[in-house]
Structure 1
Amino acid sequence: MPRKQKRSHRGIERKKAIWGWIFVSPSLLFFSIFSFYPIANAFYTSLFKKDLLSLRPPKFVGLKQYTYLLSSPTFWNSMKATFVFTMGTFVPLVVFSMVFAAFIMSRKRFQKFFQMAYYSPAVLSSVVAAAIWLLILDPRGLANQFLNFIMNTPGIDHKWLATVGMVRFSTILVYFWKYVGYFTIIFIAGMASIPRNFHEAARIDGASSWQIFWHITFPLIKPTTLLVSIVAMIQCLKTFSTQYLFVQSGAPRSPIDVITLNIYFTAIRDHRIGRASAMSIILFGIMLFFTWLQLRVSRSEEVSYM
């Protein structure tokens, strides 16, 4: 390539780079102010011992907040509650959202209706969803009436928000109901991207619907499955509103004392902002790990339709 053309090419590339930075700078500024700075400030705050309402200057304690949390039974109970809720929620979310998406895609009529019906709970805020289920799970609510009808046990209170197992199951049920439609739509988008001639060729060869799904659809939506799995897990790790409203309504706190709820009570009720910041950083690290895992695994799970 002649020198003149090289200089012209470099000039064009430089202009593209400049305009690229100009276009992404608003997003970078937004994330710097509302994401990167709060994360850095939370880590800085976690190094100090400070009462939220005290006028005394904070006392530098280094990593003592983290060492305290690693030896705290309350914190490990929060880790356990978060793990139980996450495992109990994201597995049914992934499985049932995939099944619902396959069901909707197999329908020739009313596809849009089913999509709207499944997705409608996701439009509600978490607070509204939890408030609705508080009424359903009331001793005189629909949940007790339905179970008593199925089990032929009239008048029995199944204590949805009283016992350890039931309150855990109730929070899982609320979250599943709210988000299964959201992930169903993501699976539908993944399935819709598969060329139709793959399925048509399989039908011509005599494959059944189950064989088509297991040998064609499922392998080709692996990237979507990974995405849904990691996003669902991170979403479960961030849960707060349902547990908070249930505790405020009289449910025992210990079985559903997830990390976010513990952070709230530590900072707002106990005024230990440094310790709450340390828990926030630990939670951020867990989320960062799963995000890294998703990015790493997705590289090896790319599919091609060629």
Structure 2
Amino acid sequence: MGTKKYRGIERKQARWGFVFVIPAMLFFSLFSFYPIINAIFTSFFDKRALSKLPPKFLGLGNYIRLFDPSRASSDLSFLNSLKSTVVFTLGTFIPLLIVSLILAVFISNLSSGKTKKFLQISYYCPAILSSVVAATIWMIIFDPRGLGNQWLNALMNTPGVDRRWLVDPVMEQVSTMVIYFWKYIGYFVILFITGLASIPPTIYEASTIDGATKSQVFWRITLPLLKPTVVLVSVMAMLQCLKTFSTQYMLYTNGAPRAPINVITFNIYVTGIRDQYLGRASAMSVVLFIMMLLLTLLQFKTTKSENVEY
């Protein structure tokens, strides 16, 4: 009788748990699953935003057009957007991962609690700003008379030189990387600090008794035990870089977007909103979604290991 009564209670709890989960599932389905399915469906048609004509079925025509080599010479081509996205992601993702880990270790090793809190708040402050505000701040810094040129010229002893941050193609890419790095570095530093705090201090005490150096402690103890956090941060940073949009949009003025800032998300906006080719923009969205999914699975597979035990 006791077992049956216990199972009856479990069923009631499961039933009520399912009831409470239903609103979240409906909300998630409405704003996540439906747009994904609708984008996949629309990508097979030549659909225009304001056209009254019925969409024309193209099959894989939109996807073939995206990867057409004859269109690669255009700044608006998908292949150029793919290249710009890869360059931006690598140039931002790798420094974000490495520098945030270094800063987290440095802050965690400080003895003063007040200094720790001050640095954590200082690094995290840009993360609470919107991307538009962050880009606006740095556009002022990158002005020819702004602090960007002044600091770099003072550092390199080249007074009066304009680095053309927002004009030169290479410097424009660097500018977007700097803005994104500055905005999100504090967020990932906090994640690493949380991961470091979860490592029991007794392990470090044992390593000190055994005579391990700081370098050995980091490479043999801290980094292996921090692996779950490293995987989490790497996946989040990569996805954040792949879906960048607002920073590039703020640097865009008039006319056609320039190739260095024409990342995939920006190309989706230009193609779907400005030019009103919804089918082609949906195809780009599906390709970006598949890229993000495959890269995430690849990261999980390459970093797959047994659960960390202390």
Q: Normalization by structure 1: what TM-score?
A: 0.94
Residue 36 of structure 1 is matched in structure 2 by 33
Query: Is 1:24 matched up with 2:21?
Result: yes
Residue 269 of structure 1 is matched in structure 2 by 274
Query: Is 1:189 matched up with 2:186?
Result: no
Residue 47 of structure 2 is matched in structure 1 by 50
Residue 95 of structure 2 is matched in structure 1 by 92
Q: Distance in 2 between matches of 1:126 and 1:49?
A: 33
Q: Which ranges of structure 2 fall in alignment gaps of 5 or more residues?
A: none
Kindly indicate whether the alpha-carbon contact (under 8 Å) linking 2:231 and 2:300 is maintained by their aligned counterparts in 1.
no
Cα 1:16/1:299, change in 2 over 3 Å: farther
RMSD of the TM alignment (CA)?
1.7
Q: Which ranges of structure 1 fall in alignment gaps of 5 or more residues?
A: none
Residue 160 of structure 2 is matched in structure 1 by 155
Kindly indicate whether the alpha-carbon contact (under 8 Å) linking 2:84 and 2:263 is maintained by their aligned counterparts in 1.
yes
Q: Distance in 2 between matches of 1:152 and 1:249?
A: 35
Q: Distance in 2 between matches of 1:251 and 1:61?
A: 27
Kindly indicate whether the alpha-carbon contact (under 8 Å) linking 1:161 and 1:246 is maintained by their aligned counterparts in 2.
yes
Alignment of 1:39-188 (within 5 A): 39-71=36-68, 72-73=71-72, 74-109=77-112, 110-188=115-193
The DSSP-based 3-state class of the residue aligned with 1:300 is coil
| Aligned-partner residue type, residue 287 of structure 1 | M
- Tell me whether 149-158 or 202-211 shows the greater mean CA deviation: 202-211
Which of the numbers 293, 300, 309 marks the counterpart of 1:288?
293
Deviation (angstroms), 1:228: 0.6
Deviation (angstroms), 1:209: 2.0
For each residue in 1:204-245, what CA deviation from the matched residue of structure 2 results, as whole angstroms up to 9, or x when unmatched? 222222221111111100111011111100000000011111
Kindly indicate whether the alpha-carbon contact (under 8 Å) linking 2:50 and 2:276 is maintained by their aligned counterparts in 1.
yes
Query: Is 1:278 matched up with 2:275?
Result: no
Deviation (angstroms), 1:13: 3.2
Query: Is 1:218 matched up with 2:223?
Result: yes
- Tell me whether 200-209 or 129-138 shows the greater mean CA deviation: 200-209
| Matched length | 302
Q: Normalization by structure 2: what TM-score?
A: 0.93
Which of the numbers 184, 188, 206 marks the counterpart of 1:201?
206
| Aligned-partner residue type, residue 275 of structure 1 | R
| Aligned-partner residue type, residue 84 of structure 2 | A
| Aligned-partner residue type, residue 94 of structure 1 | L
Deviation (angstroms), 1:154: 1.4
Residue 12 of structure 2 is matched in structure 1 by 15
Deviation (angstroms), 1:188: 0.4
- Tell me whether 242-251 or 285-294 shows the greater mean CA deviation: 242-251
Percent identity reads 57
